């Protein structure tokens, strides 16, 4: 039984990038029984993948793939002990991902992945690339990940991508699987290059129908560009798309967001920030002269910032992507106002005989007076 390190860990090390936290391993001339005997835990359903109980890393038996049907599920696998390392590497998507390393540290590179790394080229390993439509999303994701290094897609690989798109195979991808690739690309820099690549290949409509009509220029918007290359969360980067829609005067940002979640079934954590923005941005972007105590408190209420103070910071950070001096003043006023009202004690209101909605009105009145007193102070 021979064990090799494969894939991203080698690629990123050769590129001088931080290596992935988890490493992937391939086992040649091995069997499931051998791995189980050594304490490995079987987790793969379609083909034999095992978890090393000590490291938590994946060990997969070397395998070959044969196309048997449409879409990305239409494959038959052979993971027998006679499958060679080169046969396993040949099924991988890109040459830069088809490099292995043996236990002596020697690189095995039958498809010249190191040469393509040196030439900053994303190139398919074999014509089998076009058998799996998911690889269109994967190559777009690698184009995004490696955009700071100016990687390009090989012309012959572009041809295969166009053939996949023209055959309509992208329609076989389930939205949840597409969203999984989205999450991966949002995790790193350059997510906008992912969407720009899909647009280049006319693949956006089949993969993200709710974004149909957006072009390369849109995903080059300064707001999105900043979010893509600064250090932000996945949710923040996703929300920047909807902020750019609003800045471009699109009135259907809310409809797009709700439809996209319904179709792709992503977690509410991705919907919350853009929805808060959509519900509050008009008030926040009002003229500074309108920033009365009432206006400030209304914004805080729209953001539910009195219960969730972090909501305010998230939206302010998002709006900082396109901030001017006036916005800095608004930001300071909102932060000051939240600080004033969130610490107000209202424990004695019930003892005063107030009930129900009367208590709520009184609490709001106290908060309003606290803000008004402070912002009308000429020393502020």
* 3-state helix/strand/coil string of 137-192: HHHHHHHHHCHHHCCEECHHHHHHHHHHHHCCHHHHCCHHHHHHHHHHHHHCCCHH
Q: What is the pLDDT of residue 88?
A: 94
Residues in the chain: 380
Count CB neighbours of 189 within 10 A.
19
Please give the CATH number for the structural domain made up of 1-119.
Answer: 3.30.460.10
Burial of 156 (0-12, 13-18, 19+ CB in 10 A): exposed
Residue 181 and residue 137 in contact, taking contact as beta carbons nearer than 8 Å: yes
pLDDT for position 279: 95
CA–CA–CA angle 128, 216, 275 (5° rounding)? 105
Residue (of 221, 219, 223, 222) closest to 185 by Cα position: 219
Could you please state the CATH topology (level 3) that the domain comprising 121-220 is classified under.
Answer: Hydrophobic Seed Protein (1.10.110)
Structure confidence at residue 347 (pLDDT) = 63
Q: How far apart are CA 212 and CA 230, in angstroms?
A: 26
pTM: predicted TM-score of the whole model, two decimal places? 0.89
Q: Which residues of 312-324 are buried (b: 16+ CB within 10 A; e: fewer)?
A: bebbbbbbebbee
Q: What is the pLDDT of residue 380?
A: 43
A 10 A CB-CB count for 241 gives 25
Burial class for 78, CB neighbours closer than 10 Å (0-12, 13-18, 19+): middle
Q: Can you give the pLDDT at residue 66?
A: 76
pLDDT of 260-312, one tens digit each? Answer: 999 999 999 999 999 999 999 999 999 999 999 999 999 999 999 999 999 99
Return d(Cα 330, Cα 333) in angstroms, integer: 5
How many whole angstroms separate alpha carbon 240 and alpha carbon 318?
7
Domain ranges, ordered by start, for the chain: 1-119, 121-220, 233-380
**79 CB-near residues (< 8 Å, 6+ apart):** 47, 48, 61, 62, 63
Residues of the chain with pLDDT under 70: 19-21, 46, 67-75, 346-356, 377-380
């Amino acid at each position: 039984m021979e064990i090799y390190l494969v894939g991203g860990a080698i690629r990123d090390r050769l590129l001088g990038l931080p290596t992935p936290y988890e490493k992937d391993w391939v086992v040649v001339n091995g069997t499931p029984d051998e791995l189980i005997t050594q304490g490995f835990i079987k987790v793969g359903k379609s083909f034999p993948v095992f978890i090393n109980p000590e490291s938590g890393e994946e060990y997969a038996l070397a395998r070959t793939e044969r196309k048997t049907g449409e879409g990305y599920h239409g494959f038959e696998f052979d993971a027998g002990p006679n499958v060679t390392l080169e046969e396993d590497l040949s099924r991988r998507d890109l040459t830069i991902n088809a490099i292995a390393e043996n236990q002596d540290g020697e690189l095995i590179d039958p498809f010249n992945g190191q040469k393509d790394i040196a030439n900053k080229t994303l190139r398919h390993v074999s014509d089998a690339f076009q058998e799996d439509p998911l690889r269109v999303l994967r190559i777009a994701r690698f184009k995004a990940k490696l955009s700071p290094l100016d990687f390009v897609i090989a012309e012959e690989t572009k041809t295969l991508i166009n053939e996949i798109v023209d055959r309509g195979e992208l329609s076989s991808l389930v939205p949840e699987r597409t969203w999984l690739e989205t999450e991966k690309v949002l995790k790193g820099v350059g997510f906008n290059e992912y969407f720009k690549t899909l647009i280049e290949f006319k693949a956006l409509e089949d993969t993200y129908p709710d974004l149909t009509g957006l072009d390369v220029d849109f995903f080059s918007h300064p707001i999105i560009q900043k979010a893509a290359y600064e250090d932000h969360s996945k949710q923040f980067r996703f929300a920047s798309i909807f902020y750019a829609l609003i800045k471009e005067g699109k009135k259907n940002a809310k409809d797009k967001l709700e439809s996209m979640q319904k179709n792709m079934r992503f977690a509410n954590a991705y919907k919350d920030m853009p929805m808060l923005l959509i519900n509050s941005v008009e008030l926040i972007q009002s003229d500074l002269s309108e920033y009365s105590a009432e206006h400030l408190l209304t914004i805080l209420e729209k953001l539910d910032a009195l219960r969730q103070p972090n909501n305010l910071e998230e939206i302010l950070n998002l709006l900082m992507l396109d901030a001017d001096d006036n916005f800095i003043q608004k930001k300071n006023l909102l932060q000051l106002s939240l600080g004033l009202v969130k610490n107000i004690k209202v424990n004695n209101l019930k003892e005063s005989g107030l009930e129900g909605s009367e208590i709520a009105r009184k609490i709001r009145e106290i908060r309003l007076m606290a803000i008004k007193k402070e912002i009308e102070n000429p020393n502020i």
